[in-house]
Homo-oligomer: A and B are copies of this chain.
Amino acid sequence: MLSHETQIRVRYADTDQMGFVYYGKYAEYLEVGRTDMVRSIGVPYTEVEAKGILMPVSEMYIKFKVPAHYDELLTIQTSVASLPRASFNFDYIVTKENGQVVLEGQVKLAFVDKEKMRPVRVPGFILEAIEAAMKHASET
């Protein structure tokens, strides 16, 4: 399993009049989490698009536990439990500095050929990078 942590500080823009982070904003936080993860294993998303592959979100599930507030520093823990096939599945836990769990969630991305705008299976260069990272993770 691959796991990666990213920290995000809540912006004023992210809050709503309840004084909580607006629920739709977490989609951005989760994006940052998986972007940082794939960059860390050597597959920056800019390179993926440069190779003609888009990775739109096909499914999202979030269970909100406690609200996050302005200026809090959140840790986005992004995990990949299995090799991608038709889709690339990310599991998330977002926590506060005091350890409170803000949310748990899953996001699935599809692989789409940019020219044909058709779903494709995971491209080889992505699969290889993940296999290598998983091998490395299991050895350390």
A132: Cβ under 8 A from any B Cβ: no
In the bound assembly, the distance between CA atoms of A60 and B102 in angstroms comes to 14
In the bound assembly, the distance between CA atoms of A132 and B12 in angstroms comes to 26
Binds B, one of A61-69, A76-84, A88-96, A123-131: A61-69
In the bound assembly, the distance between CA atoms of A60 and B19 in angstroms comes to 19
Q: Are B58 and A61 in contact (CB under 8 A)?
A: no
A46-B70, A59-B64 known; A11-B28 Cβ under 8 A: yes
Q: Are A12 and B17 in contact (CB under 8 A)?
A: yes
A15: Cβ under 8 A from any B Cβ: yes
Q: Are B44 and A27 in contact (CB under 8 A)?
A: no
| Among all A-B residue pairs, the 5 with the closest Cβ atoms | A24-B27, A23-B57, A15-B17, A17-B19, A13-B28
